[in-house]
Amino acid sequence: MKRHLVIAGAALAFAFVASGANAQTSTDECGFEHPKQAKKTQASLVQAFISCGNPGGNVPNDTTEGGVQSCSPPETYRQHNGNSPFGWQWDETKGQGTVQFQAAKNKVVSPLNPPDDTADLAVQLKLKGVVDASGPATGPGTLSTLSRATLRDRQGTPGNHGDDVPMTVIDFPAPFTFTLQDGKVTYKSTANTLLNGIGQNGLPHCTSIELVDVAVIDENGDRFADIGTFLPAK
């Protein structure tokens, strides 16, 4: 069983913070520009397809009625990587999924999380109607996220904001692992749970998080679902 994360495309960005901001130059305690609030991002999940005409994607071999280059037929990552019988597919009569990211109070007790200056990001994934060649799928999966954090870094001195430094951290991959059981899962975790698990401090107050990429990866390491919208036949 191979396990790898596929990071591709920039689909969605959001930020969450608690204070207001100056429209031109931030002068509040955060030290960088931000909206008054952006507490939650929730989105539906759709099938992930191999891109057309992009690096790493398929070569265009068709055109739309309007003359736009396209690839026909569409190809999933499961099909592209050998069509494993354990690859996840949607039951098209009931399959659906959502992902949610929400600003939250920190409840993770750790020396890495100063009680007076730690916030958190609650993460939730819901899937149902996921099947493989044998029926409802069961197996490990990954909610793969790539994030860009801009924050007021504590500089190792919690409670003292005098030496805090506003900064944007390098884009950070954060994989949340879960187990699909009989085609469904409701999975909950937090950013601080993952960060503390790799020896990193929890998120400080005044943190803006952009979601550069979000995907559900199946047990074979194939990209199964992306954030998106499906327009039904009727």
Confidence band for 105, pLDDT divided at 50, 70 and 90: very high
User: Is the pLDDT assigned to residue 13 strictly greater than 70?
Assistant: no
Q: For 36-56, what is each residue's pLDDT tens digit?
A: 999 999 999 999 999 999 999
Which is more confident, 161 or 70? 70
Q: What is the mean pLDDT of residues 21-28?
A: 49
Q: How much is the pTM?
A: 0.86
Cα separation values, 174 from 75, 116, 214, 221, Å: 26, 25, 10, 15
Q: What is the pLDDT of residue 118?
A: 96
Report percent pLDDT > 90 for the chain. 84
Instruction: Classify residue 160 as exposed, middle or buried by CB count within 10 Å of its CB (0-12, 13-18, 19+).
Output: exposed
Q: Which of 4-8, 126-130, 184-188 has the lowest mean pLDDT?
A: 4-8
Q: How confident is the model at residue 16 (pLDDT cuts 50, 70, 90)?
A: very low
Average pLDDT over residues 70-93: 97
The pLDDT of residue 97 is above 50 = yes
Over 80: is that where the pLDDT of 28 sits?
yes
Query: Among 25-34, 139-148, 152-161, which range has the highest average pLDDT?
Result: 139-148
Q: Go through 37-52 and write b for each residue having 16 or more CB atoms within 10 A of its CB, e for each that does not.
A: eeeebebebebbbbeb
pLDDT digits (tens, 9 = 90+) for 126-144: 999 999 999 999 999 999 9
- Overall average pLDDT of the 68-72 stretch: 98
Q: What is the amino acid identity at position 231?
A: L
Tell me if residue 39 falls in helix, strand or coil. coil
Average pLDDT, the chain: 89
Question: For position 234, what pLDDT does the model report?
Answer: 84
Element (H, E) at 139: strand 139-153
Residue 69 to residue 52: CA distance in whole angstroms = 8
